[in-house]
């Protein structure tokens, strides 16, 4: 009989905090660079093309003695049934014994770890004095990306939000951003030394914009998190020294920025194989605008100091993050540990 | 928030019964033959060769509107830690919405569904008047195989048990078999119409034997469930009309019967691809004793009447069953339904 802790979204939201998640995802990248991780083959199945699919991503964090998997399904018709279209479940196992340790709702953790990934790209690759952040995409991911990036960077002053589908989304999100950041993220740090530091970092200008070209031209850091299948950002718009974290492309055919930007940038990825297959770089590689050899390295190699990030203030840098199961496992583990300490969740005998 | 029913082994043992499992596994084969199932790619990982590994088998039972997966790990050193070496967990999802439905300890269900599989081979391929059953292997699987086969066949009179490692195992198991069958299987049917029928079927002779050749020569049905990597049963020993259900070979390099038996037999499998990869037929195919074209069909095609089983009383028949995730999913579903009806297990919010 095994004791398995089951955590739903409500409990996860209580114990998770973004600064810790950023640290955890950095640690995943570090372990990956040091060959303390293994990514297993992905299982993908379409129940009906364009209507319903599921995938199982799994892997092993040797450095943390856990392995596990995340099952994510997407059912388009769930909207009519008042159910979420995306449903995810993560299972964590002890890699010293094989024993199951936890089962977790994967949705909120996916949002958090994806936000952290985009921010880590900016932290290690953007200019340190970056002041202007542009968020492209005002969907579910935007708040996570903005929170994580503000926490991870030191000098952001302006956050502009652009939405390719409806500029009203961007305006509304910008208006409510201060409150969202306070409720969802800052509240975690009440009565801690971090509160003032993070409160100050969140105290910047937020603006919804509808002219993407104009916004790109004055941005130091650009994060893209859209479902786009054609480039939204043209090469001519991009100023010297800009950093991109491309978060949206995680599937064949997705693309958010002009592949010619990649050709003149220093390009980094989270996982080489997955990025080549389904990342932002996929299209550029396929139409030979860039080659695999042009990719500098995985971001973990920069974090541990094996490879260099930007070489000058003028470099354009791109971080292509596709999301790997290891991020979910690591974040799930810190959430499980925190829940255990606070005696939260339900412990079942399996 | 989703309601997920969690069932541990204790609850599963309360609600599962072998006759129902045999019916469920037949239904899986039927659905498979009618293309109402999909087997996804298997994920396999060796943490350390010969010391620890894990696999994730998954699939979709369209006919039952469920999909899911079974994670099984094997850690050799668990024995020293007083933990089971094999640990399995099954997750079941609704394939109309993607919602998680249940998480189950997989061990006992694996035993039951594997027993049912061997028995179904005998039921559809052995001679109807088969009276002598030989169980090769006195390990964990033997009791499940014997129970399922006695329930599924009509005329078994003698059950002989042979163990390739230690003949004392076979003797001990034979001596305790009546009690085991009563406690583990017959007790499920108390106060039902089935009780007398199954009680009668279980009332046969059990004998532990140490001369395999002699036992093979007088057997009508032979079930092999050993971890053998070399043939235990020679072709010269096999009498006309014998049926084999080969259960043990589920991994590269495993083999229980002389491949020359396959060359003169009508051979059936549970899943063509998996059997070719890792089943009893693997070695015979690889050394060209038989070819893929010699395999008659998957057993489901016999059950639904698309293909013939044995053609004469003299045919030797072989059923090579490797075990597929669909069996675990189907069995898990009937167990979840039974537990729900009896309000057993723990329902958690995920």
B229 lies in the same domain as B126: yes
Q: Which residue has the tokens 């106060």?
A: B191
For residue A119, is it within any domain? no
What is the model's pLDDT at position A195? 97
A145 touches chain B (CB under 8 A): no
Cβ distance of A43 and B43 shorter than 8 Å? yes
Rg from Cα positions in chain B: 19
Taking only the tens place, the pLDDT of each residue in B144-195 is 999 999 999 999 999 999 999 999 999 999 999 999 999 999 999 999 999 9
Minimal-distance CA residue of chain B relative to A103: B350
Half-sphere exposure of B182 (CA within 13 A, CB side): 7
End-to-end CA distance of chain A: 6
Cβ distance of B91 and A96 shorter than 8 Å? no
Phi, psi values for residue B302, rounded to 5°: -75, -45
What is the model's pLDDT at position B254? 82
B295 touches chain A (CB under 8 A): no
What is the model's pLDDT at position A253? 80
Residue A98: which of B73, B103, B348 has the nearest Cβ? Answer: B73
Tell me the CATH number at B165. 3.40.50.720
Phi, psi values for residue B203, rounded to 5°: -85, 70
B304 lies in the same domain as B318: yes
A150 lies in the same domain as A103: no
What is the model's pLDDT at position B255? 86
3-state SS record for A320-343 = ECCCCHHHHHHHHHHHHHHHHHCC
**Range in A3-7, A258-262, B21-25, B328-332 the model is least confident about:** A258-262
Taking only the tens place, the pLDDT of each residue in A186-223 is 999 999 999 999 999 999 999 999 999 999 999 999 99
Measure in Å the smallest separation between the Cα of A241 and chain B Cα atoms: 42
Phi, psi values for residue B267, rounded to 5°: -110, 135
**Interatomic CA distance for residues A320 and A247, integer angstroms:** 7
For residue A177, is it within any domain? yes
B152 lies in the same domain as B213: yes
For residue A191, is it within any domain? yes
Taking only the tens place, the pLDDT of each residue in B107-144 is 999 999 999 999 999 999 999 999 999 999 999 999 99
What is the model's pLDDT at position A31? 97
**Range in A149-163, A284-298, B242-256, B311-325 the model is least confident about:** B242-256
A179 lies in the same domain as A264: yes
Q: Are A118 and A148 in contact (CB under 8 A)?
A: yes
Cβ distance of A93 and B71 shorter than 8 Å? yes
Strands (E), chain B: 3-7, 37-39, 43-48, 52-61, 66-75, 86-94, 100-105, 132-136, 158-162, 205-209, 221-224, 229-233, 243-246, 255-257, 266-269, 295-298, 317-320, 346-349
**Interatomic CA distance for residues A320 and A300, integer angstroms:** 13
Mean pLDDT of A296-304: 98
Instruction: Compute how many other C-beta atoms are within 10 angstroms of the C-beta atom of residue B79.
Output: 10
Rg from Cα positions in chain A: 19
For residue A118, is it within any domain? no
Mean pLDDT of B243-262: 88
What is the model's pLDDT at position B62? 95
Taking only the tens place, the pLDDT of each residue in B136-145 is 999 999 999 9
Taking only the tens place, the pLDDT of each residue in A113-128 is 999 999 999 999 999 9
- Strand arrangement, sheet containing B266-269: B205-209, B158-162, B132-136, B221-224, B243-246, B317-320, B266-269, B295-298
Token pair belonging to B150: 């006695």
B198 lies in the same domain as B63: no
What is the model's pLDDT at position A305? 98
Mean pLDDT of B96-115: 97
How buried is B54 (Cβ within 10 angstroms: 0-12 exposed, 13-18 middle, 19+ buried)? buried
The percent helix, strand, coil of chain A (3-state, each to 5) is: 40, 25, 30
Residue B98: which of A38, A67, A73 has the nearest Cβ? Answer: A73
List alpha helices for B185-320, DSSP H.
194-202, 212-217, 259-263, 272-278, 281-286, 299-303
Minimal-distance CA residue of chain B relative to A101: B89
| Secondary structure of residue B254 in the 3-state scheme | coil
Beta bridge partners of B55: B44, B72
Cβ distance of A350 and B78 shorter than 8 Å? no
For residue A277, is it within any domain? yes
Token pair belonging to B175: 């001596």
For residue A115, is it within any domain? no
Q: Which residues of B touch A95 (CB under 8 A)?
A: 47
Expressed as residue numbers, the domain containing A14 is 3-109+326-349
Q: Which residue has the tokens 């675990």?
A: B328
For chain B, give the number of residues: 350
What is the model's pLDDT at position A249? 76
Tell me the CATH number at B27. 3.30.1780.10
**Interatomic CA distance for residues B223 and B216, integer angstroms:** 11
- B321: Cβ contacts below 8 Å, ≥ 6 apart: B114, B117, B118, B121, B245, B246, B247, B269, B270, B279, B299
ipTM (interface pTM)? 0.90
pLDDT at A254 over 90: no
A145 lies in the same domain as A255: yes
Measure in Å the smallest separation between the Cα of A85 and chain B Cα atoms: 8
Taking only the tens place, the pLDDT of each residue in A70-97 is 999 999 999 999 999 999 999 999 999 9
B37 touches chain A (CB under 8 A): no
B342 lies in the same domain as B302: no
Beta bridge partners of A4: A348
A221 lies in the same domain as A296: yes
Beta carbon pairs, A and B, within 8 Å = 125
What is the model's pLDDT at position A325? 93
**Interatomic CA distance for residues B196 and B160, integer angstroms:** 23
Token pair belonging to B75: 């850690």
Mean pLDDT of B222-226: 95
H or E stretch covering A146: helix A140-152
A145 lies in the same domain as A240: yes
DSSP string computed for B286-308: HTTSS-GGGEEEEHHHHHTTSS-
B98 lies in the same domain as B122: no
List alpha helices for A185-324, DSSP H.
194-202, 212-217, 259-263, 272-278, 281-286, 299-303
B135 lies in the same domain as B258: yes
Interface test with B, best of A43, A98, A100 (most B CBs within 10 A): A98
Tally the domains of chain B.
Answer: 2
């Amino acid at each position: 009989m095994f004791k398995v802790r089951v955590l739903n979204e409500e409990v996860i939201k209580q114990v998770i905090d973004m600064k810790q998640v950023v640290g955890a995802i950095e640690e995943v990248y570090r372990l990956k660079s040091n060959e303390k991780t293994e990514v297993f083959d992905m299982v993908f199945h379409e129940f009906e093309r364009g209507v319903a699919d599921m995938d199982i991503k799994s892997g092993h964090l040797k450095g943390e003695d856990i392995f596990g998997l995340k099952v994510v399904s997407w059912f388009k018709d769930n909207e009519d049934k008042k159910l979420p279209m995306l449903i995810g479940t993560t299972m964590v196992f002890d890699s010293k014994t094989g024993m199951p340790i936890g089962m977790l709702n994967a949705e909120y953790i996916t949002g958090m770890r994806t936000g952290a990934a985009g921010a880590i790209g900016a932290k290690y690759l953007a200019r340190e004095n970056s002041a202007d952040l542009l968020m492209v995409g005002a969907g579910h991911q935007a708040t996570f990306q903005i929170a994580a990036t503000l926490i991870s960077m030191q000098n952001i002053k302006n956050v502009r939000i652009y939405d390719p589908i409806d500029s009203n989304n961007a305006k509304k999100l910008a208006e409510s951003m201060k409150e969202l950041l306070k409720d969802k993220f800052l509240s975690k740090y009440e009565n801690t030394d971090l509160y003032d530091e993070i409160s100050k970092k969140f105290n910047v200008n937020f603006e919804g914009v509808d002219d993407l070209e104009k916004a790109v031209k004055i941005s130091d850091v650009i994060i893209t998190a859209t479902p786009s299948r054609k480039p939204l950002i043209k090469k001519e718009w991009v100023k010297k020294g800009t950093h991109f974290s491309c978060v949206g492309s995680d599937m064949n055919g997705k693309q958010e920025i002009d592949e010619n930007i990649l050709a003149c940038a220093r390009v980094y990825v989270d996982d080489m194989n997955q990025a080549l297959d389904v990342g932002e770089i996929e299209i550029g590689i396929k139409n030979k605008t860039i080659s695999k050899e042009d990719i500098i390295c995985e971001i973990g190699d920069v974090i541990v100091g094996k490879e260099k990030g930007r070489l000058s203030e003028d470099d354009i840098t791109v971080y292509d993050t596709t999301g790997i199961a290891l991020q979910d496992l690591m974040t799930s583990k810190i959430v499980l540990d925190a829940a255990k300490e606070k005696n939260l969740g339900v412990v079942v005998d399996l």
